Amino acid sequence: MAEAMEAASFEGRASKGREGKYLTFSLAGEEYGIGILKVKEIIGLMEITRVPQTPSYVKGVINLRGKVIPVVDLRAKFGLEAEECTERTCVVVVEVARESGQVLIGSVVDSVSEVLNIKEGEIEDTPDFGVNLDTRCIMGMAKAGSGIKILLDIDSVLGNDELTALPLRGSGKES
C-alpha cells in the first residue's frame, strides 16, 4: 500500500505544473499540444515575406495588424518532410519567453484540432529512447483516448539562440 502511494506521489510530481488547457494541432499526421496561455491567436496562412540569411525553418515575417511577426515552419523545425499547404494550414501565433522579454512568433501547422483540458494523471514524462536525443522541447506525453498528444514546451522550441537574431522590431516587443 505504501509503495502504491509513493508511486502515485512520484507520478503527481512528475506531471506537476503541466495540467491545464492545450491547443492541439496536427503536423505530419501526429498530434501536438501547446499550453493555451501561450497562444495569442490562430490565423489563416497569409503572405509571408522571406528574410535573407535565416535558418531554413524560418519562413519569414508577416504583417499582423501593423506588427512584424517572424514565422517558423514547425515541420521544417522538427525535420519532418515538407508538404503542400492546404486550406487547413494555419499560423498559430504564440508568445515566447526570451531573455529580452516576451515576443510573438507565428508557427505554421498543418491544422488546428481542438482545445483539450488535460489532467495531471493523463500526462507522462517523455520516454527514454536510449539514444542521444534532445527531448527538452517536449513537456510530456498526454494520453487522450486511444492516442497520444505530444505536449510541447514552446519556449524551448521557439526561444532558442537561432531565433534570437530574427528581426523583431515593430512587433511591439523589442529584442
155: left (phi over 0), alpha (psi -120 to 50) or beta: alpha
Residue 154: strand pairing partners: none
pLDDT at residue 27, rounded to an integer? 95
C-alpha distance from residue 83 to each of 40, 66, 76, 142, 174 (Å): 25, 29, 10, 26, 33
Per-residue pLDDT of the chain (175 residues; tens, 9 = 90+): 434 433 443 343 344 578 999 999 999 999 999 999 999 999 999 999 999 999 999 999 999 999 999 999 999 999 999 999 999 999 999 999 887 788 999 999 999 999 999 998 999 988 766 665 566 788 999 998 788 999 999 998 887 655 555 554 434 444 3
Q: How far apart are CA 166 and CA 30, in angstroms?
A: 28
Q: What pTM does this model have?
A: 0.80
For 48-53, the CB contacts below 8 A with 24+ separation are: 51/166, 51/167
pLDDT at residue 100, rounded to an integer? 77
Q: How far apart are CA 62 and CA 133, in angstroms?
A: 32
Question: Which CATH number is 2-164 given?
Answer: 2.40.50.180
Please compute, for residue 86, the number of CA atoms within 13 A of its CA located in the half-sphere on the CB side.
Answer: 10
pLDDT at residue 130, rounded to an integer? 60
Q: Domain map of the chain by residue range?
A: 2-164
Coil vs helix vs strand at 139 = strand
Q: What share of the chain is helix, strand, coil (3-state, %, to 5)?
A: 20, 45, 40
Decide: 153 and 37 in contact? Cβ < 8 Å: no
pLDDT at residue 102, rounded to an integer? 87
Decide: 38 and 125 in contact? Cβ < 8 Å: no
